[in-house]
Amino acid sequence: MKRTARETEEVAHTLNRRTLMLGGAMGAVVAVLGVRMRYLQVDQADEFKLLAEENRINIRLVPPERGLIHDRNGKLIAANEQNYRVVITREAAGDADLVLRRLAEIIPIPPEELERSIQEVNALRAFVPVTVAERLSWDDFSKVALNAPALPGVVPEVGHSRRYPLDFDFAHVVGYVGPVSEKDLEALETPDPLLKIPKFQIGKIGVEKWMEDTLRGRAGTKRIEVNSAGRVMRELEREEGDPGTDIRLTIDSGVQNFAQARLGEESAAVVVLDVTNGDIICAASSPSFDPNLFVRGISHTDYNVLMEDDHRPLANKAVSGAYPPGSTFKMVTALAALEAGVVTPDTRVRCPGYIEFGGRRFHCWKHEGHGTVSLERSLTESCDVFYYDIAQKVGIDKIAEMGRKLGLGQRFDIPMSAVTDGTMPDRQWKLERHKAEWRIGDTINSSIGQGYVLTSPLQLAVMTARIASGRAVVPRLVRMVNDKELPVPEMPPLAITAEYLAAIRQGMNMVVNGEKGTAKSSRIVEPTLAMAGKTGTSQVRNITAAERAAGVISNDDLPWNRRDHALFVGFAPFDAPRYAVSVVVEHGGGGSTAAAPICRDVILRAMSDGLPPLDAYPASQRSRIESMLNDLPLRDPVTGLTPLRIRA
């Protein structure tokens, strides 16, 4: 049917309107696309360029060089050395197992280390580098580099590793570093990204651990070009980080080495303090171990040998050992009684060889007794009954208060591992710890450093330094950080009557220099170097009434681990105290025979520029002392290797 002119006009109008609407919509779409393209290509060009660059460029951390540790005189005791190592990346290696076994034919890799590397490579992401071998010789390092075409994914690198040149001498003080463990990471709220670098090493014990943040430094960065699979193509830029801060300790490496050598194979400890500022001059623990073994990865065999040794070489006895102080505690009991006013320096007590209380006898070490004893004589001859008597008068709470005033029963804030609090018991302590009331018998035992009383060699050295100086000496181990001297802790005068301290010091003087002194054989004959001190012997077993009646078994006739501990504390020079020393020899027997001679030798070494002067010893002992000193495996102060010898 033919359309009329009107109908044709209406159809045309409709088409024109639809065309315009469609064209407008298309134009709008084109406009939006244009605006969007302009936004992406012009306004956001820099951002997308950066995203593309980041897809091609990676930033990786560069481990900083660890801070060095020196002794008080600047001698290096923890160093860094070049470490030639080999790493492998599975993504670049292809068949990593095959490449690793091929590598083991070129350089020596123990079978267990090879298997460990294979497992680690397969466990980590393909582009993560894994260290296969460290501390390679230059020859082995060169072999790897020369065979690079046959070892895809294997890269020889040069890094740094920790080294302890004075090994055994500072193992317990400085400690050692080792790879970061999961336990290490879990202990931190916000771990440093450095710690997540494979095999990155941190301090595990000692100064290395407790000053980790100071020694570690700040990481650097390097920009590397990678392909789409994450393979490193080249290094574009490197920014070195900040090396760790150097530290200088208060320890004198010469005195430390002498003390370590003097202890020999004994299970023992020596601490030397400078009474004028609290500097720890020596903190020796024997036997020791080589910390370099732990840095390199100690074998199960070597570790088991250390763990199974009954002399406990891994324990730092100087600060973590807690021992009954024996008669070295008698100065505490005496000062408590003097300050409480229950005795005077002239008080006399009769010693028949024992006292009886509650149906029990408490014996003096001298079976027949000492007769009538004064304060000075009680220290000189170490009479036990004198202290049994005055302790009952003063009470344990006053004794404990004095002990704490002299540094016992407290943990000192020094950067060493497992620093013990010791135990300075009182009535409240026993009630809380043992849910029992304190008894008079407990006080009697505590009065001579037995029973519940436990002290460390460090605490005993502090006690001696405070008695010698009359001040609240506080030990410190770090002398300088980054060449900046640290302030000496305040050492206010002790709230103890000067007359009483003088009486105690005189008693200690007679212990060493009196005709009946228990340590007279360890006296120093040079007046300007004269030593005062106190012997101590602490029991580690109970002596039954039957054994006492039949005769107490000599320490020499007992198994080593049932013998008494031997202790000695001393200071010198007597007229102007400079050094305080404590010595503990585990199961050493008597303090006068085992500990006092060590103390004399070490304190003479501290007061000398070199070996102890022979003319400071009694003439009758000089030949024996000369032979003993010449036999010690001492380090040469310059080379650190050649043994020192006395020249006649």
Q: How far is the CA of 291 from the CAs of 34, 164, 210, 266, 642, in angstroms?
A: 70, 7, 16, 19, 21
H, E, C per residue of 82-107:
EEEEEEECHHHHCCHHHHHHHHHCCC
Angular region, 359: left φ>0, alpha ψ -120 to 50, beta rest: left
d(CA 498, CA 153) in angstroms, rounded, equals 75
60, amino acid identity: R
- Which residue among 253, 267, 320, 327 is the active-site one? 327
d(CA 444, CA 332) in angstroms, rounded, equals 13
Burial (0-12, 13-18, 19+ Cβ within 10 Å), 527: exposed
Q: Which stretches does DSSP call E strand in 323-426?
A: 348-351, 354-357, 360-363, 371-374
Helix (H) or strand (E) holding 254, with range, is helix 253-263
d(CA 174, CA 316) in angstroms, rounded, equals 11
Please enumerate in sequence order all residues whose Cβ is within 8 A of that of 555, keeping only pairs 6 or more positions apart, or say none: 563, 564, 589, 590
Is residue 399 a contact partner of residue 423, using CB atoms and an 8 Å limit? no
d(CA 504, CA 469) in angstroms, rounded, equals 12
The Cβ-side half-sphere exposure at 567, using a 13 Å CA radius, reads: 33
620 is catalytic: no
Residue 197 Cα to chain centre, angstroms: 25
208, amino acid identity: E
State the DSSP string of 5-66: HHHHHHHHHHHHHHHHHHHHHHHHHHHHHHHHHHIIIIITHHHHHHHHHHHHEEEEEEPPPP
d(CA 635, CA 210) in angstroms, rounded, equals 28
d(CA 603, CA 572) in angstroms, rounded, equals 7
d(CA 566, CA 590) in angstroms, rounded, equals 5
Task: Pull the structure tokens for residue 84.
Answer: 């030639």
Helix (H) or strand (E) holding 534, with range, is strand 532-538
Residues catalogued as catalytic: 327
